[in-house]
Amino acid sequence: MYREMREAVVQGDAPRARRLAEGVVDADGDLVAAIEQGFAAGIRKVGDLWEEGEYFLPELVQGAEAMKAAMGVLQPALRKSHGGQVSKGRVVIGTVQGDLHDIGKTLVATLLSAGGFEVDDLGSDVSVDRFLARAKENGADIIAASALLTTTMPVQKAIADGIPSLGLAPRPRLLVGGAPTTAAWAAQIGAAWAENALRAVAVAESLANASRRA
Amino acid sequence: MNAFAERLRRRETTLLDGGLGSLLIARGLGGGEAPESWVLSRPDDVRRAHGDYVGAGSDAVHTATFGANAIRLARSSLADRCEALNAEAVRLARESGARFVLADVGPTGEYLPPVGTGDRRSWKEAFVRQGRALAAAAPDALHVETMTDLREALIALEALKESASSLPVMVSLTFERKKRGFFTIMGDALAGSLRSLGEAGADAVGANCTLASADMRLLAEESRAAVGLPLVIQPNAGAPEMQGGAVFYSQAPEAFAEEMARVASLGVELVGGCCGTDPRFIRALARRLHSKESRP
């Protein structure tokens, strides 16, 4: 059964992923195992295939959609059985002001929500003030800011500079990404960095854990 | 056949220009501003930027119309200025004294399902409209570039063949280097893509953006082996880096010129630069190309 779940995600088959998830819930099965050994293993496989150059953007998006379809069924069930405490953290995400690219950002948002985060997607062309205001309103653990242009990368720094003014330290942590960004750039502005959408989930998890411990 | 088409036919090496956006940024273009908006608001700066390339040795310059299709212009509320903007941009490039003016046609910025919600029919309409506007201003050729989806490139090509039928159309895709070779982000493989474009009537095909000159040289070798059409290659100046809040590209003009002279010697007819390259890069490449020509 877990193999079928993996396959549904690897093949980007959202209706099948949803049906399999419903099957687990109806049979009162192990929800966590279905996620970990089934659907999440599938999305990791999609990531591997992408790194190998076997999969491209369309397959990545379809895999993420299948994952999201399954999680749409599993998350409410998990919430019921765990008394509402299943979120890995709250994320406010967007593409920075002046930048209209939102495929990568939307993919990250989908994967984060599939990965158990509560995600508030502000879309593209998002001002520094909007990122900060929404993060404060939501008590966000993470602000995730995407920039696809070298000309809009400085907005990521402006967000980093603005976070202390919220007075919520050590939260929210800043996660940056986008084609022109690098680990060095992130270090320079005091942010975490993910080189692609799949890595972003793992980085977000470690940031959320760190901010909870702090 | 116009003079540029004749030049393509003779397989003469043509030195193109480099990045335009970065020159406009140096002149004060803001982070969120569309470069093409300057065609109407700061025409002198656009003309001078072209002129800098002409001075550096570019045989041909690209118009500031990368984002001047109605779909993309709508994002900066300029869609109703589509015709005026495209015509004016050709005029500015012409006034720079460039020998050839290549009308630049960039992507819509939308994607087809499942990645996005783009629609082929509205894309075609947008490219036909831009093609008509450009053709009316009489550039020497059209250049569809920075396309990351072969399907969009083919739609643009078809639209321009209809709307600007007397002009040569060149098409460049943007490839990434993956473990199995060069592919667009949508998974279009290099050789097959270039052949499809040739079969669809492109007068020259090639690649621009994302890759730096060393990877582009490998791509050029594979491209030359794959198609007999004239090739156009325009790499970035390395990878972008940030320093003190400003973007810079790490590659030195001489290193770029050395690689690109080798690209030209592979039999690539049209060579130039993309993001991060400026007139210094073109001047360095011009020196190398000319010294080669003067050799016996």
- Triad B86, B54, B139: Cα angle to 5°: 30
pLDDT more than 90, % of chain A: 60
Two tokens at B68?
A: 């001047």
pLDDT tens for residues A177-186?
Answer: 998 889 999 9
Tell me whether residues B30 and A98 touch, CB distance under 8 A: yes
**How big is chain B, counted in residues?**
296
Q: Tell me the shortest Cα–Cα distance from B173 to chain A, in angstroms.
A: 16
pLDDT at A85: 60
| Mean pLDDT estimate for chain B | 94
Tell me whether residues A153 and B242 touch, CB distance under 8 A: yes
| Residue B246 neighbours by CB distance under 10 Å | 11
| Alpha carbon distance B239, B276 (integer Å) | 9
**Residue B241 contacts A where some CB pair is shorter than 8 Å:** yes
pLDDT at B239: 79
Two tokens at A132?
A: 């900060």
Tell me whether residues A188 and B242 touch, CB distance under 8 A: yes
pLDDT at B35 over 50: yes
Q: Pick from B21, B115, B241: which is nearest to A61 by CB?
A: B115
List the one residue out of A35, A12, A175 whose CA is nearest residue A115. A35
Tell me whether residues B245 and A157 touch, CB distance under 8 A: yes
pLDDT more than 70, % of chain B: 96
pLDDT tens for residues A7-27?
Answer: 999 999 999 999 999 999 999
DSSP class of A171: P
pLDDT at A156: 95
Residue in B with minimal Cα distance to A154: B245
pLDDT tens for residues B179-195?
Answer: 999 999 999 999 999 99
pTM for this one? 0.88
Average the pLDDT over B54-62 and give the result: 98
Q: Which of the two residues, B239 and B191, has the higher pLDDT score?
A: B191
User: If you write DSSP's letter for every residue of B149-160 in order, what string do you get?
Assistant: -HHHHHHHHHHH
pLDDT at A213 over 70: no
| Alpha carbon distance A72, A17 (integer Å) | 10
Two tokens at B225?
A: 């082996």
Tell me whether residues A56 and B183 touch, CB distance under 8 A: yes
Tell me whether residues A98 and B32 touch, CB distance under 8 A: yes
Average the pLDDT over B108-136 and give the result: 95
Contacts of B32 in chain A (CB under 8 A): 97-99, 125, 152
| Alpha carbon distance B77, B89 (integer Å) | 18
| Least confidently predicted of A118-122, A179-183, B194-198, B259-263 | A179-183
Q: Which of the two residues, B3 and A196, has the higher pLDDT score?
A: B3
Tell me whether residues A61 and B114 touch, CB distance under 8 A: yes
Contacts of A158 in chain B (CB under 8 A): none
pLDDT band with cut points at 50, 70 and 90 for residue A135: very high
pLDDT at A119: 92
Contacts of A188 in chain B (CB under 8 A): 242
Q: Which of the two residues, A97 and B48, has the higher pLDDT score?
A: B48
pLDDT at B167: 98
Contacts of B184 in chain A (CB under 8 A): 56
Two tokens at B214?
A: 């060393």
Q: Which of the two residues, B171 and A60, has the higher pLDDT score?
A: B171
| Alpha carbon distance A8, A20 (integer Å) | 9
pLDDT at B152 over 60: yes
pLDDT at A71 over 80: yes
**Residue B178 contacts A where some CB pair is shorter than 8 Å:** yes
pLDDT band with cut points at 50, 70 and 90 for residue B244: low
| Alpha carbon distance A197, A178 (integer Å) | 9
User: If you write DSSP's letter for every residue of A9-26 in order, what string do you get?
Assistant: HHTT-HHHHHHHHHHHHH
Q: Pick from A12, A56, A101: which is nearest to B186 by CB?
A: A56
pLDDT at A2 over 90: yes
Q: Which of the two residues, B296 and A153, has the higher pLDDT score?
A: A153
- Give just the sign of the alpha carbon dihedral A84, A85, A91, A92: positive
**Pairing mode, strands B181-183 and B176-178:** antiparallel
Long-range contacts of A14-18 (CB under 8 A, 24+ apart): A14/A62, A14/A65, A14/A66, A14/A68, A14/A69, A15/A69, A16/A66, A17/A66, A17/A67, A17/A69, A17/A70, A18/A69, A18/A70, A18/A72, A18/A73
Tell me whether residues A57 and B186 touch, CB distance under 8 A: yes
> Helix (H, G, I), strand (E, B), or coil: what is residue A52?
coil
pLDDT at B166: 94
To test the contact with chain A by mutation, choose from B25, B71, B242 the residue with the greatest count of A C-beta atoms within 10 A, namely: B242
pLDDT at B72 over 90: yes
pLDDT at A130: 96
Q: Tell me the shortest Cα–Cα distance from B256 to chain A, in angstroms.
A: 19
pLDDT at A49: 94
Average the pLDDT over A172-201 and give the result: 91
pLDDT at B296: 44
Q: In sequence order, what are the residues at sequence separation of 6 or more whose Cβ sits closer than 8 angstroms to the Cβ of residue A96? A: A125, A126, A128, A145, A146, A147, A152, A155, A156, A159
List the one residue out of A87, A33, A79 whose CA is nearest residue A212. A87
Q: Name the one residue in this structure whose structure tokens are 């986008």.
A: A178
How far the first Cα of chain A sits from its last, in Å, is: 39
Tell me whether residues A52 and B179 touch, CB distance under 8 A: yes
Name the residue type at position B173.
L
Q: In sequence order, what are the residues at sequence separation of 6 or more whose Cβ sits closer than 8 angstroms to the Cβ of residue A175? A: A142, A143, A144, A145, A191, A192, A193, A194, A200, A203, A204, A207
pLDDT at B116: 87
| Alpha carbon distance B281, B19 (integer Å) | 10
pLDDT at B294: 52
Tell me whether residues A125 and B32 touch, CB distance under 8 A: yes
Two tokens at B15?
A: 């030195």
Cα B80–chain centre separation: 24
> Which one of A184-193, B134-143, B240-249 scores highest in mean pLDDT?
B134-143
Average the pLDDT over B25-31 and give the result: 85
Q: Tell me the shortest Cα–Cα distance from A80 to chain B, in angstroms.
A: 32
